[in-house]
Amino acid sequence: MSNVEINAEELEYDIQNKIPLLILDLRDASNFMKGHIEGSANAKFSSEQQKQAVMSRLPRDQKIVLIDENGTESSQNANMLARFGFNAHYLKEGLKSWKKHLVKSSQETALSNENLWNSLKNNEDVFLLDVREPMEFAEFKIPGAVNVPLSELFTEKGADQIPKNKKIVTICSHGNRSMVATFALAQKGLESTSLEGGMSRWNQVLNAQTAVKQDDLIIIQVEKVGKGCLSHIVGSNGEAMVIDPTYPPAKYVEFAEKEGLKITKVIDTHQHADHVSAAKELAKMTSAELYFSAREEYSVEHKKAHDGESIPVGNKQIRVMHTPGHTAGSMTYVVDEVYAFVGDTLFVESIGRPDLRDKAEEFAFELHETLHNKLLNLPPDAKIFPTHHGEGVQPTENGIFYTTPKMAKQLSLLDLSKEDFVKKVVSMATPRPMNYSMVIKVNKGTIPIMEEQVPDLEMGPNRCSVQ
Ligand SMILES: [Fe+2]
């Protein structure tokens, strides 16, 4: 394995003669950004597991040169790769031996889910390059992303699809393939940034916006951007109730504190099947009272929310209304008779799917009752806040998703007789959310979960509405 080591002259010769090379710089991102060999990419790993995942994805038919400060770590890694059959090398004595000029990075080598969200929110011109396989991409993606699978990026054809004048963010499921994509792009002379944790972390971004501010009442809508889950903070007189919180729960504390609110109550509208509820965790974190529907089973200690009762929050009384159909125990919470939190019973674009508990017909019947005799009886302009919005559904107003009885009456499904409604809804088979039976068990409290397991369990789009 004597040829694993190369010196600065040999490397310079290869670069000048345009020999295809993957030059991977193992130093910290900040040192890399301050100055690196032109055409190299930063390969700093957050864990041994990530290092192995990334290295196993390197192409076997290309010459790989590892670089660090002095040739120690790079030597070990190059020898390991060579043992596994890669054409791997390292620069003898590292960057210390490199006398030619170094280039600075114009962008970070990796970015967090929140930073990507901030740049998209600010309409920055970012090219989202999703390097997963087409099947994965079709299932679930960031709107606007372009799909070029990783293997194609190493070819001429794949690289031709990449713009030269935009900030490129590479995306995959967990942030490993996207890092290898930055290597492929660097080889082509393009800088890029890898989304840390990939789609699995992207799924966990929470964005808060004020939906209602009136006298003493504030309603904050929190959107789980990647999945379209919506949850709400209802505040009054310094106190707040959180409805349908999702992970990560600490964000709700931050959002509430910003408005001078202390979370004293946490409640779910129903037992969710498509995302992990953070209600238990948030209640524990804030010592708030935890409520669940009195008509559902939970194996954790909680207070029961009964049909017709009122739960006080600050100066407000929140009315509990049983609205079965999506699930048998679904509850709607009503504030001042003009703001309603309906869970997955009614959406901006559709109605809740009644089939997740295998009793589609019975549930569809109840859903018709709930919609026509309860929700549509609220004042015509009452704001009805759902717990999801479908892919591609635009906010109703100022970034906020809501519907009203007046708007909901335009949905063609709500024009049908009860018999036709049941027939139609039962026939509309939608694929079930990924992992839904496991998610239900976690939300019931029968299976414990660690926060770091949540992103993978929730992977995929939400599928609680009829489409
Ligand atoms: Fe649901």
Under the banding of pLDDT at 50, 70 and 90, the label for residue 156 is confident
Task: Answer yes or no: is 464 within a domain.
Answer: no
Q: What is the pLDDT of residue 329?
A: 95
Instruction: Judge residue 9's burial from the number of C-beta atoms within 10 Å of its C-beta, 0-12 exposed, 13-18 middle, 19 or more buried.
Output: exposed
Strands 262-267 and 239-243 turn out to be parallel
Q: Is 261 left (phi over 0), alpha (psi -120 to 50) or beta?
A: beta
Whole-number Å distance between alpha carbons of 418 and 361: 11
Residues, beta carbon < 5 Å, ion ligand 1: 272, 344, 464
The confidence score (pLDDT) of residue 191 equals 94
307 lies in the same domain as 247: yes
Question: Residue 326: inside a domain, yes or no?
Answer: yes
**Ligand 1 mean position to 447 CA, how many Å?**
19
> Does 462 reside within a domain?
no
Query: Are 54 and 76 members of one domain?
Result: yes
On the question of pLDDT at 463 being above 90, the answer is no
The per-residue pLDDT for 1 is 45
Model confidence band, residue 433 (pLDDT cutoffs 50, 70, 90): low
388-394: average pLDDT: 88
Tell whether 172 and 215 lie within a shared domain. no
Residue 462 confidence (pLDDT)? 57
Average pLDDT over residues 350-377: 87
**Token pair for residue 31?**
């040192």
Give the whole-angstrom CA distance, residue 422 versus residue 413. 10
Both 386 and 277 in one domain: the answer is yes
Q: How much is the average pLDDT of 110-119?
A: 95
Whole-angstrom distance, CA of residue 428 vs CA of residue 412: 14
Residue-number span of the structural domain to which 176 is assigned? 110-201
Reported confidence tier of residue 467, pLDDT bands at 50, 70, 90: very low
223 and 277 together in one domain: yes
Domain with residue 185: its CATH number is 3.40.250.10
Look at residue 463 and tell me if it is in a domain: no
> Do 296 and 278 share a structural domain?
yes
Q: Which pLDDT value is given to residue 466?
A: 56
pLDDT at 355: 58
Burial class of residue 156 in the structure, from the number of CB atoms within 10 Å of its CB (0-12 exposed, 13-18 middle, 19+ buried): exposed
SS3 track for the chain: CHHHEECHHHHHHHHHCCCCEEEEECCCHHHHHHCECCCEEECCCCCHHHHHHHHCCCCCCCEEEEECCCCCHHHHHHHHHHHCCCCEEEECCHHHHCCCCCECCCCCCEECHHHHHHHHHCCCCEEEEECCCHHHHHHCCCCCCEECCHHHHCCHHHHHCCCCCCEEEEECCCCCHHHHHHHHHHHCCCCCEEECCHHHHHCCCEEEEEEEEECCEEEEEEEECCCCEEEEEEEECCEEEEECCECCCHHHHHHHHHCCCEEEEEECCCCCCCCCECHHHHHHHHCCEEEEECCCCCCCCCEEECCCCEEEECCEEEEEEECCCCCCCCEEEEECCCEEEEECCECCCCEECCCCCCCHHHHHHHHHHHHHHCHHHCCCCCEEEECECCCCCCCCECCECCECHHHHCCCHHHHCCHHHHHHHHHHCCCCCCCCHHHHHHHHHCCCCCCHHHHHHHCCCCCCCECC
The domain total for the chain is 3
Confidence of residue 3 (pLDDT cuts 50, 70, 90): confident
Both 154 and 219 in a single domain? no
| 103 is a domain residue | no
5 has a pLDDT exceeding 70: yes
Is the pLDDT confidence value at 297 over 90? yes
196, 221: one domain: no
Mean pLDDT of 121-139: 94
For residues 161 and 129, give the distance between their C-alpha atoms in angstroms, rounded to a whole number. Answer: 10
State pLDDT tens for residues 211-270: 999 999 999 999 999 889 999 999 999 999 999 999 999 999 999 999 999 999 999 999
Ligand 1 centre distance from Cα of residue 120 (Å): 28
299 and 382 belong to one structural domain: yes
Q: How confident is the model at residue 159 (pLDDT cuts 50, 70, 90)?
A: confident
CA–centroid distance, 344 to ligand 1, in Å, is: 5
Ligand 1 centroid–CA 441 distance in Å is 14
Please say whether the beta carbons of 359 and 353 come within 8 A: no
- The pTM for the full model equals 0.88
Q: Among the three residues 166, 201, 236, which one is the final residue of a domain in this structure?
A: 201
Q: Within this chain, do residues 162 and 284 fall inside the same structural domain, yes or no?
A: no
One domain, residues 371 and 354 = yes
Least confident of 285-294, 332-341, 349-358, 411-420: 349-358
Q: How far, in Å, is the centroid of ligand 1 from the Cα of 343?
A: 7
Is 186 inside any structural domain? yes
For residue 343, tell me if it sits in a domain.
Answer: yes
222 CA distance to ligand 1 centroid (A)?
A: 16
CA of 19 to the centre of ligand 1 (A): 55
Q: Which of 97, 127, 149 is the last residue of a domain?
A: 97
Residue 440 lies in a domain: yes
Q: What is the CATH number of the domain that holds 361?
A: 3.60.15.10
Known catalytic residues? 172
CA of 229 to the centre of ligand 1 (A): 10
The per-residue pLDDT of the chain, averaged, comes to: 92
**Span 282-294, mean pLDDT?**
98
Among the three residues 170, 201, 232, which one is the final residue of a domain in this structure? 201
Q: Tokens 């037992």: give the residue.
A: 271
Residue of 345, 350, 348, 349 lying closest to 334 (CA atoms): 345
Q: How far is the CA of 341 from the centre of ligand 1 (A)?
A: 13
**Segment 85-104 mean pLDDT:** 94
Do 25 and 60 lie in one domain? The reply is yes
**Helices 177-187 & 48-55, crossing angle to 10 degrees?**
50
Per-residue b/e over 127-151, b at no fewer than 16 CB within 10 Å? bbbbbbbeebbeebbbeebebbbbe
